[in-house]
Amino acid sequence: MKRQPVAKPPEATGKMARGFFWTGLEFIGRQGVTFVIQILLARLLVPDDFGLVGMLTIFIALANVLIESGFQTWLLHEKTPSETDFSTVFFFNFSIALVLYGILFFIAPFVADFYQEPILIKMLRLLGLLIVFAAFSIVQRAQLTIKFDFRSQAIISTVAMALSGAFAIAGALAGLGVWSLVLQQVLNQLLQTILLTATNRWFPRLVFDIPAFKKMFSYSWKLLVSSLLDTVYQNGISVLVGKFFLGTTLGYYTNAQKMRDVAAMSVTNAVNKVSFPSLSRVKEDQEKLRKGFKEILSLSMFLTIPLMLGLAGCAYEVFEVLFGPKWLPAVPYFQIMCLSGVTYPLHMLNLVLLQIVGRTDSFLLLEIVKKILGFATLVSALLLFKNVFILICVTSGVDFLMIFINGFYTKGILDYSLKSQFRQIAKSALAGGIMLVAIFSLNFLPVQWPAIVMLLSKVLVGAGVYLSCTYFFGVTEIKKIFFWVQGLKRQKV
């Protein structure tokens, strides 16, 4: 079989390669630390504790969306935002944060009544501090991203997560229960804000430019509405499960979702964080934009496919070894979530493209269409089946169909259709499918191995099969990664 030569990545992708390296390191480091902390806390606490925190996730998530308001995206979209722009965004973020915290403080008793859990009053009022601390860090993080300083962000995120996680583990050992989870989140955000400010050393000027604000708002308001719709939809299952099922069931769902996100979001967030500023710089050159889009798509799917399918195949062993038997009911939820997580980069890149070229109107339209379909499906599944597993299966199926909506405009912008995108990642997907079959086949061995032995066997077999298949199929991403790593060794990153 004739193999295609792999060209050395051009110099123009150097910053993007370094960005992927440090952003990937940030998410691997932070999510790796999160992973270890989650394992220890899951063994020290009970599913009900995770369920209580899961009940409040939607409120904090919505508040964070309202604080950011799409303005951080605007700062990254602009090639040269001014000091006045940064200060305007800062004071808007902080003002909104104070208002939102007041609202959360006021509605806390009503939220507790809704779930019939009185402890949620104090929990929500303490967790609400997250949004105030986050408001201080938005501009700092945006400036570091504009400078392509992903190294500092990687170190800060990992250190903050490690310190706050150590505090949470100590709290769990001391018998704080669910409060160890709450304090861990608050302390993590506080440490990140302090470290980002100390590293970037930017302080706002006492100025608020109304014309600049209007310019930002005209771009950002559609992103804000889109993000609000997405946040409500993504957290809708948690609300419904928390209201209509036991807190233990929500605990299983929450922990399965966190485990999925440790893997899926490590790649997806790294791609999102680097691709937006990278592609924004070439947005006026369609050929360069299309080339960059294709490279990022191929690389992100090459990494995501084996990661998510591998976790789906090893789910039982992962939960038994890491969390213990009490968490095994979460395995079916986790497996379906992993299958759904395979397509995350595909969703994200097509939506990021709309933001890059300034088509926020189209972005909002897509979100409205998707969420109407999604909410209708979610409520229908709950009323018809009243089963959490079926609810997750249905929403995961809808998420897959959303790819066709997210990719609707890409052909017109880049002359690169969704069909072409599927064709580009087909070899990696086929290799991933063969890998998953190989992993599952180990379940039918006539011998009963300990869970840890079976887990290691599945990892080794899966990695070997995937790499062998991608090599045989002529997938070149592994060589591109090798070239980039070699380039990083020759440069000060």
pLDDT digits (tens, 9 = 90+) for 217-264: 887 887 788 888 888 887 878 888 888 888 888 889 988 888 888 777
Ranges of the chain with pLDDT below 70: 1-31, 68-70, 79, 266, 268-277, 481-493
Query: Are 364 and 304 contacting, i.e. CB atoms less than 8 angstroms apart?
Result: no
Paired tokens of 431: 């290799």
The alpha carbon dihedral of 295, 298, 301, 303 has a sign of negative
Q: Residue 12's pLDDT is what? A: 43
355-379 pLDDT tens trace:
788 787 788 888 888 888 888 888 8
Paired tokens of 415: 């002359």
AA identity, residue 249: T
**Structural element, H or E, at residue 358:** none
Q: How many residues does the chain have?
A: 493
Q: Where are the extended beta strands (E) located within 8-103?
A: none
Query: Are 338 and 400 contacting, i.e. CB atoms less than 8 angstroms apart?
Result: no
Helices (H) and strands (E) in the chain, counts: 21, 0
The pTM for the full model equals: 0.76
Query: Are 96 and 251 contacting, i.e. CB atoms less than 8 angstroms apart?
Result: no
Query: Are 438 and 310 contacting, i.e. CB atoms less than 8 angstroms apart?
Result: no
